[in-house]
Chains A and B, each alone.
Chain A
Amino acid sequence: MKVIFELLLKFIVVIANLFLAPVNALVANVLPDFSQMVSDFYRLVDLYIGDGIVYFFNLLPPNCKSLIILYLTLLGIFYTTTLAIHTGIKVVEILKNVKVW
């Protein structure tokens, strides 16, 4: 399950980075201070929230962790499936509206 989840997350990250690459480059080069601020902000949030999440969930018993990861996997599959269906419907609708003269 963890593999599925990781693949899913990795897929999302890759796709997002692909589309955001030009924006990232633009912001990083044109607004370096902003980039630095974002970076600092990210680290602060990570310190106070990210590490806190890690600490909290590490406290849980193993069976509880297993349940959570099972649930998260199912949740991820659900949303992925939903979005895929929605995208498919959209594509079909667009294709239906295409008129060939």
Chain B
Amino acid sequence: MRFYVGIGKRIHLKTLLKLGLGILMLLGIYKSTLTIVHAASFETVQNWSTCDYGTTDYASNNCTIYNSSVYVTSPSLNNVSNVLIPNGAYEQNPNLRQNKKKTEIYKYGGVTDCASGSNINLYVDAVMGGYNGSFADNVLDPNQFPIVTTRGVTKGDLRATCPNTWCDYWPWLSNSNADSQNKTGVRISKTNGVDIRDCTFVSYGSNKSVRFLCSVPSGNTGYQIILNEYNNGYIANTNLMSSVGIKTTVLSDPCKQYPNDQSGVIGSIGDQTSSIVDGFAGIIDNQNVNQAQTHQDLEDIKDKIDDVNDNIDQTNDKLDQTNDTLTSIDENTQECKLLTNGKFSGYLNSSGNVVPTSNSYFYTDYLRFTKIKVINNDGYNAPSICFYDNNKNLLSCEAYARRTSFVPTIPQYAYYFRASLVSVTDHKISVYVCNGIGDILTDSDLDLGSGAGHYFGDVNQIEDTPISSLLLLPINYLQKLVDTLDGSTCIPYSVPFGITGGDETIDFPCIDLGDSDHLGSSLWGLIDNLFCIFMIYKVAMMVISYFEDWTSLHDTFDQMYHPDNYKKGAVIR
């Protein structure tokens, strides 16, 4: 049965039914997918304000972009005495070395017993990591040293300006000496974060470091070093901060600076293990072996030593189990949330360009996205963005976020992120948003906004052409196919699945079928040619069939080559 439809095009009833069923199936699949994705996505809590990136709307507390401070998340400023900065050495984040999934955080701090007396004076050298993974010196590994710290600051705290030739290394430094400009520098404070004193900018080091002179006030048993970051509106598009290293050099210390191993603070799990083992060793020592006078006594002592060693082994086994448990707990309670539904995934090729997957919004080597609102935030510590490779190893964390309000008492902030990737190797990138310090990040804390697609990537155009996108889908795939066939190299294919909407993936590796081990040898040449021809034939027949069904092209052929007795104008037959 055929109908005339619209302008007179004939369509098979069968085709209509197929089309309808196809649409229903697509809608069903889409609905199911939506359900999965939605369940895995962060809920939208509030409507997002209408502010846009780059808008200056200071009065409304919504969009104070250019004039706002840049908050770098960080290393926890709590319990700073857990980690000491070794005097005279650059320090990396031990937490990240131990557990790369854990992005919190680093503590720049020191412990002293200087209850009274003169101040402790020290240099603080900060080294900037290049946005492309190159460090100013080779001390730090950018893949193991994500962004450090700062906390909320007010205008005018800081002191350093960058010479124009060095602004590439310190892009957030002001390039102006004007007092009205916010500047970047270092502060020092008590471990509770109060009584902050600014450090004095001293000089630039030969390794592109910036040196500050700090003074720990007397009467303090601990201090922390805070690297403040300011932004006066100058942001270099090609140089974004990626990593920072800190080195301290104590100049005058009237008191005693505790070295790391005598700080008396809680050490790592490994430290606890060794201390318990040492404890058993002490028991062994107390057996008073030297007083054993008979062979039997020695045998007894050996047996006891064996028993003790067995106990040590058992204890170590238990400690290992405990460590595993703790690690597991830690993984389950990490403060980072994957930005689900794959919005921020892409491949970073060897040229340093991000090859986006279909859902990603990367620019070349930058990630810009807006409308991430962290509700449960204390107003001081901004969330950060962390990049992980395909094996979920941390590549880097960025916190180049701008807060939309200066009012710290308002627990709702919006952060505008501009993040760059440190690594330039081939990685599948996953992006997480990590909470600031002292806050628990829940799904409902992240508000991607109703217009979460407000990005600055060119993928955005899809939303403006919904009908074209749908209708031209086969054409786009054809174009993609042609591009693929034109000598492109294999890209590993990761298919996200599971209830987390992308946290788990099935990874398909690259296989070079053209090499001699597969189909490319002389023996297999004929076989793969035949195989290709056969495959092309089958695929072509399928494509033609679907294409003709889809376009009703066989009707066209009918019209072109209808028999002589064909009656024009038949509406139904």
Contacts and interface: CB of A to CB of B under 8 A. Distances in A.
A66 B489 CA distance: 14
Contacts, number: 173
- Interface of chain B, main secondary structure: helix
Nearest to B556: A86
Contact of B493 (A27, A40, A52, A60): A52
B35 to A, nearest CB: 12
A69 B485 contact: yes
A81 interface: no
A34 B492 CA distance: 32
Interface residues of A, number: 57
- Interface of chain A, main secondary structure: helix
A78 B497 CA distance: 40
B560 interface: yes
Contacts of B485: 57, 65-66, 68-69, 72
B470 A9 contact: no
Interface stretch (B168-176, B240-248, B475-483): B475-483
Contacts of A16: 468, 471-472, 475
B540 interface: yes
Interface in A1-38: 2, 5-6, 9, 12-13, 16-17, 20, 23-24, 27-28, 34-38
Contacts of B495: 47-48, 52
A20 to B, nearest CB: 5
Contacts of B481: 53-54, 57, 72
Given A44-B30, A69-B485, A24 B464 contact: yes
Given A39-B466, A50-B358, A12 B532 contact: no
Interface string B524-553: 000011011101100010011001000001
A50 B477 contact: yes
A72 B465 CA distance: 27
Contacts of B462: 39, 42-43
A9 B479 CA distance: 7
Given A43-B359, A48-B495, A61 B513 contact: yes
B339 to A, nearest CB: 14
Contact of B560 (A37, A51, A89): A89
Interface of B: 26, 30, 33-34, 37, 341-342, 357-359, 453, 462-473, 475-482, 484-493, 495-496, 508, 510-511, 513-514, 519-520, 528-529, 531-533, 535-536, 540, 543-544, 547, 553, 556-557, 559-560
Top-4 shortest CB links A-B: A46-B358, A55-B493, A38-B466, A61-B514
26 contacts: A2-B482, A6-B482, A9-B475, A9-B479, A17-B468, A23-B467, A35-B464, A38-B467, A40-B34, A40-B37, A41-B26, A41-B30, A42-B470, A44-B359, A50-B476, A53-B480, A54-B491, A55-B491, A58-B484, A58-B490, A59-B511, A66-B485, A68-B536, A69-B482, A79-B553, A86-B559
